[in-house]
Amino acid sequence: MARNNDPPLLILISLAAGPKHGHALLKDIDRFAGVRLGPGALYGAITRLDERGLIEPVPSDDRRRPYRLTAAGAAALAGAVRDLTAITEVATTRLRTAGVTA
């Protein structure tokens, strides 16, 4: 089965651990989710998140501009985690009923 590879969600999760620039984001996402995002997909997602105010650039003189989670981004991530947890609990319960341990 394919892993969860929703780039905006993965970026929010990665930035929850602190500000990161593009390359650091790619490496972190690969490490915790096993998903290798392409540069185009990463910056497409960064653009969407930035436009919606869920992340923001950290002032920097470096061209490798880091991003951090905003308060709205943290709230959005918390909501997504709640939704995923609810789904996971349903799946776990159903598997248990079927006699399978998740």
Which pair of tokens denotes residue 19? 């500000």
- From the list 19-27, 70-78, 81-89, 91-99, the region that binds other proteins by CB under 8 A is 19-27
Long-range own/partner contacts, residues 48-53 (CB < 8 A, 24 or more apart): 48/8, 49/8, 49/11, 49/12, 49/73
Interface with other proteins, residue 46, by CB under 8 A: yes
User: Which of 44, 68, 72, 81 forms a contact with other proteins (CB under 8 A)?
Assistant: 44
* Residue pair 29/35 in contact by the 8 Å Cβ criterion: yes
Computed from CA positions of residues 48, 35, 14, 63, in that sequence, does the dihedral angle turn out positive or negative? negative
Identify which of residues 16 and 43 has a Cβ nearer to other proteins in the complex: 43
Shortest separation between residue 33's beta carbon and other proteins, angstroms: 18
Q: Which residues bind other proteins (CB under 8 A)?
A: 21-23, 26, 38-44, 46-47, 51, 62-65
